[in-house]
Chain A
Amino acid sequence: MIGVAVAIGIALGAAQQAAPPAQPGESPYRIAGRLPVRIMSFDVQPKSIRPGEKVTLTWATENPQSISIDPIGRVAPRGTLTLTPSATTTYTLAVTGASNSADKRMVTVTVQGPTAVSATSASHLPKAVPRTADGHPDLSGVYGYGQAPGGRGGPPPAQPVLKPGAENFKIVRAADDTGQYSSCMPPGIPQSFFVPYYTQIVQAPKSVVIAHEYLNLHRIIPTDGRNHPPDPDPSWMGNAVGRWDGDTLVVDSIGYNDKTEINGYRHTESLHIVERFSRPDFNTLSYEATIQDPNVFAQPWIIRRNFPLLPEYDSLNEFVCENNRDYKPLFGNK
């Protein structure tokens, strides 16, 4: 036996302290937002292999804000990976969390052989935007939700210019009006991107599928050069066709019903949306929606968002609206 199994699990600067105490009247979400990160486990099996053999890396963390394994890159808070390292490799799990908490552990796989050398890390280097065989940027991936309109840290949402006489298309809600998410009805485009659930893009040579975790909404958008059908039936998600403008996917959609709203405004069935999707870097999906409705808006209304790629996820969670139908009365009408 040439090699010797080496496995180390070192906790560096483990931060297991409790969250700072709550202030009187403080939101429980703010209290929870201070919980420190911790690594529950990090292991690799087996710890010594011959060249070409596989190892399994497993890890679990809690309350993380960022998680990465060097030399792999970003990973989910918990996971398992099967790897075939070609050289002796030390994997380092590093997490950061609230209240300046951080933790780090390492495990090493020894690859037996006379040429065993330590692998160098490349996970911190910028990754190139992948491209498909036909040369287009590959937008495929799971993306997080963008900053909600007017949300913390984000720019104020762009406001539309209403056509004279269209003032009543601006939605004014009473304090107890719960808004467009108060039913199982689809929020339409672009609002389906603005809910706190993920979106997945699957890019094929002649179509692009955009799937939203929220309500399982999806669009299968042809990119084969076809046009809209004449007079499409009004629908919640519209009729969309796509084309490539350089490295940007342009999706033109019409055929919407008038039941959805866009950032606080109603519209008519004349709604026409042009969406532009691009991937300026590996980690970002850039989104721009130009909204036009000649019955409502005096000029095109542009809404922009950036959605972060979530490379640690490869699929959406199941979403069944009916799961929560047995809510207990919350408003005193037991």
Chain B
Amino acid sequence: MRRYLLAVAAVVLLASPLSAHHSTAMYQMDHPTTVTGTVKRFEWTNPHAFIYIDVKDEKGNSTEWEIELMSLNHLRSYGWVRTTVKPGDVITCTGGAAKSGAPSMISALLKLPDGRELRS
């Protein structure tokens, strides 16, 4: 629970100044990470939406990444709906990866299968 709410704190920070450097401990926002994978499921929920994707390494091994997005009010304001991302879609997410090394990140920009880029 504590971890989830750290993300709320992150959103509070991110939502106003969108600072390149912020004091939230969990994500590396100053060294963006880009991850491409196949969508397993999309959770269209507050406080945050989440996408879970399978990311394959060069050997073909698959790792599930947890992609945190902004809250629903932000996503709707960017043009999102709950069907914007669907299971099976291959998407590319750019954002900050967890400093812990866990396969988690918060995505700021997401590329859909047809090449459209959306704020996330």
Question: Which residue of B is nearest A183, CB measured?
Answer: B5
| A328 with B102: CB separation less than 8 A | yes
In the complex the two chains form, is B109's CB within 8 Å of A330's CB? no
Question: CB of B16 within 8 A of chain A?
Answer: yes
* Residue contact B79 to A196, C-beta cutoff 8 Å: no
User: How close is A53's CB to chain B, nearest CB, in angstroms?
Assistant: 28
A71 contacts partner chain B, Cβ-Cβ < 8 Å: no
Please tell me if the beta carbons of B96 and A28 are within 8 angstroms of each other in the complex. Answer: yes
Q: Is the interface of A mostly helix, strand, loop or mixed?
A: loop
CA distance A154 to B92 in the complex (A): 34
Q: Please tell me which one of the listed residues A27, A183, A323 contacts residue B30 in the complex, with CB atoms under 8 A apart.
A: A27
User: Which residues in window 320-334 of A have CB below 8 A to B?
Assistant: 320-321, 323-325, 327-334
Return the chain A residue nearest B23 by Cβ.
A175
Given contacts A19-B117, A33-B18, A148-B16, contact A330 B47 (CB under 8 A): no
In the bound assembly, the distance between CA atoms of A19 and B2 in angstroms comes to: 35
- Cα A175 to Cα B26 in complex, Å, equals 12
Is the CB–CB distance between B104 and A196 below 8 Å? no
B74 proximity list for chain A (CB < 8 A): 196
With an 8 A cutoff between CB atoms, is A137 at the interface? no
Which of the listed residues B8, B76, B94 has the most CB atoms from chain A within 10 Å of its own CB? B8
Q: Which of B3, B19, B43, B119 contacts A331 (CB 8 A)?
A: B3
A152 to B81, CA, bound (A): 28
Minimal beta-carbon separation of B25 from chain A (angstroms)? 5
CB closest chain-B residue, reference A175: B23
Which B residues are in CB contact (< 8 Å) with A64?
Answer: 77-79
**6 A–B contacts, CB within 8 A, in A order:** A28-B108, A151-B17, A152-B16, A196-B73, A213-B73, A325-B4
- Top 4 A-B pairs ranked by shortest CB distance? A151-B16, A196-B15, A28-B108, A62-B79
